[in-house]
Structure 1
Amino acid sequence: MNLKTIRSICLSCLALLIIFYPPKIYARSHEWIAVPKSQYGEQLWDKNSVQKNQAGFIRVLSKFIPTSTTEITQDILYTMNINCSEKSFIDIAVGAKEFNEFKNKDSEWKDANGDELILGVIDQVCGFMKSY
Structure 2
Amino acid sequence: MHLKTIKSICLSYLAFLIIFYPPKIDALSHKWIAVPKSQYGEQLWDQNSIEKNSNGFIRILSKFVPKSTTDITQDILYTMEINCSETTFRDIAVGANKFNEFENKDSEWKEPNGDKLILGVINQVCVFIN
TM-score under structure 2 normalisation? Answer: 0.80
Instruction: Map residues 36-115 of structure 1 onto 2, 5 A cutoff.
Output: 36-115=36-115
TM-score under structure 1 normalisation? Answer: 0.79
Range with bigger deviation, 64-73 or 98-107: 98-107
Counterpart residue type for residue 76 of structure 1: I
SS of the equivalent of 1:106 reads: coil
Output one character per residue of 1:58-86: Cα deviation in whole Å (capped at 9) or x when no partner: 00000000001111110000000000010
Structure 1 CA distance for aligned equivalents of residues 25 and 97 of structure 2: 18
Structure 2 CA distance for aligned equivalents of residues 60 and 86 of structure 1: 17
RMSD over equivalenced CA pairs, Å: 1.3
Offset of residue 107 of structure 1: 1.4
Offset of residue 89 of structure 1: 0.3
Gaps of 5+ in 1: 1-22
Kindly, what percent of the aligned residue pairs are identical? 76
Q: What is the aligned length?
A: 108
Offset of residue 27 of structure 1: 3.2
Offset of residue 25 of structure 1: 1.8
Structure 2 CA distance for aligned equivalents of residues 114 and 24 of structure 1: 42
Output one character per residue of 1:12-38: Cα deviation in whole Å (capped at 9) or x when no partner: xxxxxxxxxxx8923310000000000
Structure 2 CA distance for aligned equivalents of residues 70 and 55 of structure 1: 39
Structure 2 CA distance for aligned equivalents of residues 24 and 77 of structure 1: 24
SS of the equivalent of 1:61 reads: strand
Task: Rate the CA distance shift 1:127–1:105 in 2: closer, same or farther, 3 A.
Answer: same
Ranges of 4+ aligned residues in structure 1 off by more than 6 Å? none
